[in-house]
Structure 1
Amino acid sequence: MNGARGKRRFLLALCALAALLFGALGVWQVELPCQTLDLIERVDARVHAPSGPIPPRSSWPRINAKSDEYRHVLVRGRFLHDRETLVDALTERGAGFWVITPLRAAEGPILINRGFVPRGRASPSSREAGQVAGEVTVTGLLRLTEPGGRFLRPNDPAGNRWYSRDVAAIARARGLPGAAPFFIDADASANPGGLPVGGLTSYRLRKRLLDVALVIMTSPVTVPLTILGALLVRITMGAPVLFVQSRTGVSGQPFRMYKLRTMRPLAPSEALQATSAGDVRITRVGAWLRRFRIDELPQLLNVLKADMS
């Protein structure tokens, strides 16, 4: 009797939780798409606007993502090629490096992401034609710093290993006091010799905005299905609800991928066995989730986090 009463209370609690989640989802569905569309329109307008001067030095402490990131800017100066920094990159052109070169401008030193080079052309001596001398004009997109590094791969200034475009850390390592707190992603204007290859920011930005937009547009269906699937897993198999696996993402970095659990608790000897058709470890609910691929819906969280595309 007590067992039946406890189960009934548990189910009522789950129903109440589901009602709260659906209520929150309703509010989220009204607010978030508007915010996202506003962001997309704002960024798109900046990217395609005519280039203008960089913000004056007096405004640098107030530069922020909402007002300034992806602004189309123009700056003049001379490259300091002897203080170049290579930052690990994985792009649609393959693995390689971003070439970050300080520009000595009238406003002060500004880090320029001149573009991508493959690993085999990392040495400046292999792309001497691109080491432009004299005054140059750079147009591109204003970007905010990327402090610290990447997941499980922190920047190592002492070892000259860089995994993110951390403006303050690079400026310190290269002896650039008073450097701008932002960097500029150079546009696709060709460099002598063809390297570095600029203009990749717009491609990556469009792809990222498309990912976010698709997740949001499908969420009225995917979020309730994910909640339903999680409840079924919790009721029939208990905790944990999620299966977490280490994967390599679009940036080449490891991340934790999420799926709804579809198998009964595994013994250590079973954990590494590959899944096969009719696998007895898969529960009836798990088979249903797999059939309609509902078990994969939590991966949309990975898409929002930019782990996957």
Structure 2
Amino acid sequence: MSDTRRPIWVDVTILLLAGIMLVGMIVLGNWQVRRLAWKLDLIEAVETRAFGEPAAAPNGGAPEYLRIFTSGILIHDKSLRVKAVTEIGPGFWIMTPLETAGKTIWINRGFVPSTLNQDQWTRPEGQVEVIGLARLDQPGGTLLERNQPETGRWVSADLVEMSRAVGLDNVQTGYFIDAEATPAPPWPRGGLTRLAFQNTHLIYALTWYAMAALFLGAIIYVVRDRLSTRD
């Protein structure tokens, strides 16, 4: 009677694949733990910086979500539109350079729906004061899309490329300002900076670790059962 037992190399291959899956689950759990630490830091930054009295816009770097103010003249003819999806719907952020006594600072004046044209936006003239939150430079684009300066398509606030595209010099790099809401006519609508963040990373991390533990138990059971049948 022929031996119908499964070849040992098949068992070894299955065990290796199972080991890879187990390591993958642990890696995903570890990644969620790192994301948890990042999210907690982000929430703390918002809570400690975004709601106090505004500080003067620094000449250099600025902590993200710090509430700051500055004044100058908006250069409307150099405004750019950055793709956005908000609670209002799809549209654009209106990014306008503000010429101050020092450097030119990019201002996110707020959101406009994609159905509006620039004739329906406010265009304040003369000296204006801007109060808002410092936001960090967003070079390149997003995970799903890239900026296309050559065609004027922007999906993130890449300050260096935006300044180059409209021919600006002496620009403040590193951060721009998300303007707060104002009582002026509604578009662009400021004050839509996202300040509430869902934090489910701990749940996801525990889920991956639990799956890894159960999977390891299953591997041990199958290996022991397989070894007993070979005796």
TM-score of the superposition, structure 2-length normalised? Answer: 0.77
- Aligned equivalents of 2:214, 2:108: Cα separation in 1: 46
Instruction: Tell me the CA shift for residue 34 of structure 1.
Output: 4.4
Instruction: Tell me the CA shift for residue 75 of structure 1.
Output: 0.9
Structure 2 equivalent of residue 54 of structure 1: 57
**Inter-CA distance 226–165: structure 2 relative to 1 (3 Å threshold):** farther
RMSD (Å), alpha carbons? 3.1
Structure 1 equivalent of residue 179 of structure 2: 186
Q: Which structure is higher in helix share? A: 1
1:22–1:224 Cα contact (<8 Å) kept: no
Residue 6 of structure 1 aligns to a residue in which SS?
helix
Instruction: Tell me the CA shift for residue 187 of structure 1.
Output: 1.2
Structure 2 equivalent of residue 214 of structure 1: 200
Residue 189 of structure 2 aligns to a residue in which SS?
coil
2:72–2:100 Cα contact (<8 Å) kept: yes
Deviations 1:219-239 (A, max 9, x none): 20245438978xx9xxxxxxx
TM-score of the superposition, structure 1-length normalised? Answer: 0.59
Aligned identity (percent) is 35
Q: Whose relative contact order is higher, 1 or 2, with alpha carbons under 8 Å and at least 6 apart?
A: 2
2:112–2:189 Cα contact (<8 Å) kept: yes
Residue 152 of structure 2 aligns to a residue in which SS?
coil
Bigger-Rg structure (1/2): 2
Instruction: Tell me the CA shift for residue 194 of structure 1.
Output: 1.5
Structure 1 spans left out of the alignment, 5+ residues:
233-309
- Aligned equivalents of 1:41, 1:113: Cα separation in 2: 23
What letter matches 1:53 in structure 2? A
Instruction: Tell me the CA shift for residue 90 of structure 1.
Output: 1.8
Select which of 115, 138, 148 maps to 2:130.
138
Instruction: Tell me the CA shift for residue 93 of structure 1.
Output: 0.9
- Aligned equivalents of 2:31, 2:144: Cα separation in 1: 32
1:54–1:73 Cα contact (<8 Å) kept: yes
Moved more, 219-228 or 173-182: 219-228
2:73–2:98 Cα contact (<8 Å) kept: yes
Structure 1 equivalent of residue 68 of structure 2: 73
Moved more, 11-20 or 78-87: 11-20
Structure 2 equivalent of residue 103 of structure 1: 98
Structure 2 spans left out of the alignment, 5+ residues:
219-231
- Aligned equivalents of 1:154, 1:30: Cα separation in 2: 28
- Aligned equivalents of 2:146, 2:23: Cα separation in 1: 39
1:77–1:106 Cα contact (<8 Å) kept: yes
